[in-house]
């Protein structure tokens, strides 16, 4: 389609909206775009937001490609139509709805509840903002067939999103996701959405659910006695203006931690995220205020959660006493190591347990699995795939935990998505366990590197905005797929995994094997020396991600600075080879 054809199509969609049952402010905004801003008009209407790896997510504004009450309403109408077909034998279909702190989140949540109730579906609506993991928990607790949380997770303030969940508490996957999208596509216009809610079908959910969630979260603690012994560990916590503001301090207090410090400026709940450019704990700047507070009070551990409290970033003191940020891989390694060491020490490993990680998460996690002879799974990016494993194997095997490099972890199966509330509690417990041994969390990480191998990982995200950006990202992936590198990091590429075509090509043996995972636009290059490079367009943001992993033995703690520098230089060299720096 050429630009002229695209513009005509966009104008037709825009005029359909103008002539539909929308509010006057939205109508005037569309008219303005038609007359004055062709580029923004195209960006707002050139496509319909669809469910990706994180559901519906986009910039707030008018149009089919924007988050607004109409795209939320159409998505919900499609969800309702599908639920009514899937559960036609039920006397009552139930959906629970939560939202985060973002601008318009309460409005979008209320819109979702109204549309559900207007379709005869019982809607449970939280009385205020709640963390995403509590929404996942509430689905099964309330015996719902679906759930929705309004959030754009860690995205900048311009964004909002809509995560849809199934009755198992996990995010919707195939075939349901595609089927819901098809239902949405069959809605001819906004006028087909039932916006007029039925108050008798809407029930408010409050503190009772918080209490149930906190009790289950606290039950995951492995060593309450050590927490009591080291209750004075200095902890700084920041919710970065989000939903963790009450829940994380509460779970830490319930477990017995008594030296918890807040960052008052970031305890302010705000969808404008006034102290940060982006409320993403993966970005160092988001934790700047927390680090300053930790140095002021001499805290040992810093934790920061994103707006919907499903991801957590941490900082610890290194062997020089300096606070350093750990990446998501390191956090996943610490949690995996601690969980398995405690399950093993307490005689809980009976051969009927399993864990999981995503394909772009550190292979050091895999090494730890192997040491304990544990059943494990590698899954595509997104906790919906870990939730699917629990759904498929949970009756036969016990799920211990699992995580991903992008700062998400899940402990136990009472939540079926990333859970920063329980993870914060476990990280604080790890600090107490390390202190009992006369060590810090960083000392523990060095012990793991010396016991296994020092893996160092890095991530580069390349942003490309709008329609042209999406096309450029697609071209980059096509180039890597058609002309893959033969050597990286001074080592031959021996294995190429193409998850789009579901093929694993062993360049050393010439053997090509099938990849038994769902289709995903991911490429991985594994080198003879163990280096791994993964390339993946984001499913929720306009960017393409490059993941790097290099490794080397760490003979002693004293060698850390030297080996860390060597591995860092290797990663920089790889970035240069791939023209990313």
β-sheet with 301-305: strand ranges across: 260-262, 235-238, 301-305, 312-317, 323-326
**Dmax (CA) of the chain:** 71
Dig out the tokens for 486 from the structure.
């033969």
Cα-based angle 119, 123, 127 (whole degrees, multiple of 5): 145
- How far apart, in whole angstroms, are the C-alpha atoms of residue 209 and residue 369? 34
Q: Which of 153, 504, 534, 549 is catalytic?
A: 153
- How far apart, in whole angstroms, are the C-alpha atoms of residue 159 and residue 272? 11
The backbone torsions φ and ψ at residue 573, rounded to the nearest 5 degrees and listed phi first, read -65, -40
Helices 24-36/38-45 angle, 10° precision: 130
- In the block, residue with structure tokens 């410090």: 261
- How far apart, in whole angstroms, are the C-alpha atoms of residue 203 and residue 205? 7
φ/ψ bin of 542: left (φ > 0), alpha (ψ from -120 to 50), beta (otherwise): beta
CA distances for 299 relative to 261, 292, 314, angstroms: 8, 10, 12
Of residues 482, 484, 502, the one with CA closest to residue 494: 484
CB 379 within 8 A of CB 131: no
Of residues 274, 253, 272, the one with CA closest to residue 264: 274
Dig out the tokens for 308 from the structure.
């919907």
- How far apart, in whole angstroms, are the C-alpha atoms of residue 503 and residue 520? 11
User: Active-site residue 153, yes or no?
Assistant: yes
CB 453 within 8 A of CB 554: yes
- How far apart, in whole angstroms, are the C-alpha atoms of residue 561 and residue 574? 20
φ/ψ bin of 95: left (φ > 0), alpha (ψ from -120 to 50), beta (otherwise): beta
Name the 3-class secondary structure at 280.
coil
For the annotated catalytic residues, the residue numbers are 153
């Amino acid at each position: 389609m050429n630009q002229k054809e695209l513009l005509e199509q966009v104008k037709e969609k825009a005029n359909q909206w103008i002539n539909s049952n929308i509010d006057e402010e939205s109508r005037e905004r569309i008219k303005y775009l038609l007359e004055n801003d062709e580029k923004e008009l195209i960006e707002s209407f050139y496509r319909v937001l669809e469910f990706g790896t994180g559901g519906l997510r986009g910039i707030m504004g008018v149009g089919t490609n924007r988050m607004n009450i109409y795209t939320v309403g159409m998505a919900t109408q499609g969800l309702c139509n599908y639920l009514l077909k899937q559960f036609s034998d039920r006397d009552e279909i139930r959906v629970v709805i939560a939202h985060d702190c973002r601008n318009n989140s309460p409005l979008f949540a209320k819109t979702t509840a109204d549309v559900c109730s207007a379709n005869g579906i019982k809607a449970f609506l939280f009385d205020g903002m709640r963390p995403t993991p509590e929404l996942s928990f509430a689905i099964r607790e309330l015996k719902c067939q679906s759930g929705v949380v309004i959030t754009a997770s860690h995205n900048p303030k311009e964004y909002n999103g809509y995560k849809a969940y199934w009755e198992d508490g996990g995010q919707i996957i195939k075939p349901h996701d595609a089927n819901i999208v098809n239902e949405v596509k069959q809605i001819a216009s906004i006028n087909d959405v039932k916006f007029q809610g039925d108050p008798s079908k809407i029930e408010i959910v409050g503190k009772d659910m918080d209490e149930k969630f906190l009790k289950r979260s606290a039950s995951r603690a492995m060593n309450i006695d050590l927490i009591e012994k080291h209750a004075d560990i200095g902890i700084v916590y920041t919710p970065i203006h989000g939903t963790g503001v009450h829940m994380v301090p509460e779970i830490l207090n319930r477990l017995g931690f008594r030296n918890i410090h807040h960052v008052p400026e970031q305890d302010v709940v705000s969808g404008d995220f006034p102290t940060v450019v982006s409320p993403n704990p993966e970005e160092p700047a988001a934790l700047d205020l927390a680090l300053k507070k930790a140095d002021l009070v001499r805290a040992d551990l810093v934790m920061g959660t994103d707006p919907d409290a499903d991801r957590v970033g941490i900082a610890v003191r290194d062997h020089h006493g300096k606070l350093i940020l750990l990446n998501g891989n390191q956090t996943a390694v610490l949690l995996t190591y601690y969980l398995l060491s405690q399950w093993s020490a307490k005689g809980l490993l009976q051969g009927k347990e399993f864990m999981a990680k995503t394909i772009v998460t550190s292979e050091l996690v895999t090494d730890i699995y192997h040491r304990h002879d544990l059943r494990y799974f590698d899954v595509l990016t997104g906790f919906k795939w870990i939730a699917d494993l629990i759904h498929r194997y949970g009756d036969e095997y016990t799920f211990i935990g699992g995580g991903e490099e992008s700062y998400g972890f899940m402990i136990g199966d009472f939540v079926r998505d990333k859970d920063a509330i329980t993870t914060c509690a476990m990280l604080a417990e790890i600090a107490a366990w390390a202190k009992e041994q006369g060590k810090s969390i960083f000392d523990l990480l060095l012990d793991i590197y010396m016991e296994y191998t020092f893996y160092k990982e890095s991530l580069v995200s390349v942003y490309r905005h709008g329609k042209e950006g999406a096309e450029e990202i697609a071209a980059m992936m096509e180039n890597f797929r058609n002309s893959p590198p033969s050597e990286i990091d001074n080592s031959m590429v021996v294995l190429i995994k193409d998850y789009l075509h579901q093929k694993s090509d062993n360049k050393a043996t010439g053997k090509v094997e099938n990849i038994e995972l769902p289709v995903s636009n991911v490429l991985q290059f594994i080198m003879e020396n163990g280096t791994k490079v993964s390339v993946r367009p984001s499913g929720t943001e306009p960017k393409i991600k490059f993941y790097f992993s290099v490794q080397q033995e760490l003979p002693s703690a004293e060698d850390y600075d030297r080996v860390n520098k060597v591995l860092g230089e290797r990663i920089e060299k790889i970035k240069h080879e791939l023209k990313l720096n």
